[in-house]
Amino acid sequence: MKFTQIIHYVPLTTKGSTSMKTFLSLVALTVLVSAFAFAQVGGGASAVALGIFTVGTALEISPSDGDFGDLAPGTTYQIAADGSLTPPDAGGNTEAVPVLWEIAGQPGASVLITFSLPPFFEGGGAGGGGARVPYSAGVQSGGWSDAAFAVGDPYNPIDPRVPNTIFLIAGGAAVQVGGVIAVPNGTPDDDYEAQFILTAAYTGL
């Protein structure tokens, strides 16, 4: 038995041609979008980096105890910031050791300093319940310079009863405090102590 294959040729009309073009355009657009989407997968990345800087240098304060000498009852003594002592103590000394703080920090910075001064010295160690000797400060009982200074050395006088601004010209300064000690008559022989506190903070460059 033979089979005859019959093929019908149907000419494309203008309308059919337009539909085919539209279909092919959609297929091309789909392929293009798919390719673009595929190209974007895993194509980007990000990373974090830090920018860092430091403002100033922390202040360092190194205190040193003062020694105002061997004082006699019934006498009022003036101790200057540079250690000069008036009148001479019981041993004839005209120089004492003022309380000292050495401050280190940012070169060229200005620093505000404030003091907590004692109202008296106390015998038997501070807080030990011994006799008390009055203490006070005056307009020029304190002073500062770029380094520790002795009698006759130049320095900048300050009143330690109020806040003062000093300068760390080369990155350091020394602050010294004396004061006025009025020893009452009948004050017992003993060692007398008191606490002096300095607080410092940057104010600018």
The CATH number that applies at residue 195 is 2.60.40
Q: Go through 128-153 and write b for each residue having 16 or more CB atoms within 10 A of its CB, e for each that does not.
A: eebbbbebebeeebbbbbbebbeeee
pTM of the entire predicted model: 0.73
Cis ω before 87 (30° cut-off from 0): yes
168 SS3 class: strand
DSSP β-ladder status, 172-177 and 99-104 = antiparallel
Kindly give the confidence (pLDDT) of every residue in the chain, 205 residues in length, as a single tens digit, with 9 standing for 90 and above.
343 333 333 343 444 455 545 544 544 445 444 544 545 556 789 999 999 877 668 999 999 999 999 999 999 999 999 999 999 999 999 999 999 999 999 999 999 999 999 999 999 855 556 899 999 999 999 999 999 999 999 999 999 999 999 999 999 999 999 999 999 999 999 999 999 999 999 997 6
DSSP letter assigned to residue 169: T
Domain range spanning residue 191?
60-204
Residue 48 lies in a domain: no
DSSP β-ladder status, 164-168 and 109-116 = antiparallel
Cβ atoms of 66 and 97 closer than 8 Å: yes
Query: What tokens were used for 50?
Result: 């830090």
Residue 1 lies in a domain: no
